[in-house]
């Protein structure tokens, strides 16, 4: 919402000021100049980027106009979910998580969190990490390095559409100059004609430069900056998951592991300890562990922190 408001503010300020100076808005309506600047920018995107990056760039631009995906509540819910996983693992044994991480959509631990299951990347990150503990093929330090590698690969992948948008923003002023030069060429061909005609062609040429600069600093550049911020928040989200999982693997209690995770959340998104404790006490549901010779209970039970 803020992105939409910001872009609307930019255009209102620019065109409002133009109108206050008694400018004719129809002079700025130059489809040919827009075609030169916009079409050339599109061509740059197609030449410089593979299809996967172009698709990521389109999804990223759309994401900048939606509400932030990783809010304080999202962090709180995921910490509660990890607490439930850690508590169940501590009671039943880490080997009992095998079916849960292999089929998370059927797991009693994860089915209470449909948003987590719908987020395939986060679901795979958590389940694949827990699978390493279930298999017993890694030490906590090796698991830490593995998760760090995964996060870094994801970070590089998210940076590609940001870099592509930034490259387009950097090119737009130059494309505006190209449109202006072409307009000047046309103007020079009209020298000797009526002054009104020459003036219109000069105005049209200058509109090309205006469009390039406005789109660069008023639209594409800010969108690229916002997308980079969203991707950085996404990377921080995975760092929080990593801290919790590695802390538990190193022997921390479930509540201490999620406290490590809470402390790694950026301050503007970090829930307080009281919020986390209340959420765990009131809403955490850890599946009961069957005693030897008894069938496993089908219902989860609320657990205090």
How far apart CA 80 and CA 240 sit, in angstroms, is 12
Q: What is the pLDDT of residue 297?
A: 46
Hey, which bits of 182-304 come out as E strands?
Answer: 285-287, 300-302
Beta bridge partners of 291: none
φ/ψ of 35, rounded to 5, equals -65, -40
Instruction: Render pLDDT for 95-128 as a digit per residue (tens, 0 to 9).
Output: 888 888 899 988 888 988 999 999 999 999 999 9
φ/ψ of 61, rounded to 5, equals -60, -40
Q: What pLDDT band is residue 301 in, cutting at 50, 70 and 90?
A: low
This prediction's pTM: 0.82
293 pLDDT more than 60: no
Q: What is the pLDDT of residue 302?
A: 52
Mean pLDDT of all residues in 152-165? 91
Q: What pLDDT band is residue 300 in, cutting at 50, 70 and 90?
A: low
Q: What is the pLDDT of residue 252?
A: 92
Q: What pLDDT band is residue 299 in, cutting at 50, 70 and 90?
A: very low
């Amino acid at each position: 919402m803020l992105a939409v408001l910001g872009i609307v503010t930019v255009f209102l300020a620019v065109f409002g000021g133009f109108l206050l100076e008694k400018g004719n808005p129809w002079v700025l309506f130059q489809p040919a100049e827009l075609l030169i600047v916009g079409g050339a920018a599109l061509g740059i995107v197609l030449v410089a980027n593979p299809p996967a990056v172009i698709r990521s760039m389109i999804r990223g631009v759309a994401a900048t106009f939606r509400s932030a995906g990783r809010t304080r509540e999202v962090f709180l819910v995921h910490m509660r979910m990890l607490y439930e996983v850690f508590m169940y693992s501590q009671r039943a044994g880490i080997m009992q998580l095998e079916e849960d991480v292999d089929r998370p959509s059927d797991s009693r631990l994860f089915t209470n969190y449909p948003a987590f299951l719908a987020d395939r990347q986060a679901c795979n990150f958590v389940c694949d990490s827990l699978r390493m503990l279930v298999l017993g093929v890694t030490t906590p330090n090796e698991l830490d390095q593995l998760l760090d590698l995964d996060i870094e690969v994801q970070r590089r992948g998210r940076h590609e559409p940001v870099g592509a948008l930034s490259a387009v923003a950097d090119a737009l002023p130059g494309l505006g100059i190209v449109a202006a030069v072409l307009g000047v060429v046309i103007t020079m061909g009209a020298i000797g004609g009526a002054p009104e005609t020459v003036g219109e062609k000069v105005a049209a040429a200058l509109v090309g430069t205006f469009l390039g600069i406005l789109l660069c600093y008023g639209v594409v550049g800010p969108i690229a900056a916002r997308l980079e911020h969203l991707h950085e928040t996404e990377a921080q989200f995975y760092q929080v998951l990593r801290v919790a999982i590695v802390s538990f693997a190193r022997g921390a209690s479930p509540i201490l592991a999620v406290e490590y995770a809470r402390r790694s959340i950026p301050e503007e998104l970090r829930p307080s300890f009281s919020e986390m404790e209340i959420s765990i006490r009131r809403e955490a549901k850890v599946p009961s562990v069957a005693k030897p010779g008894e069938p496993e209970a089908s219902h989860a039970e609320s657990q205090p922190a």
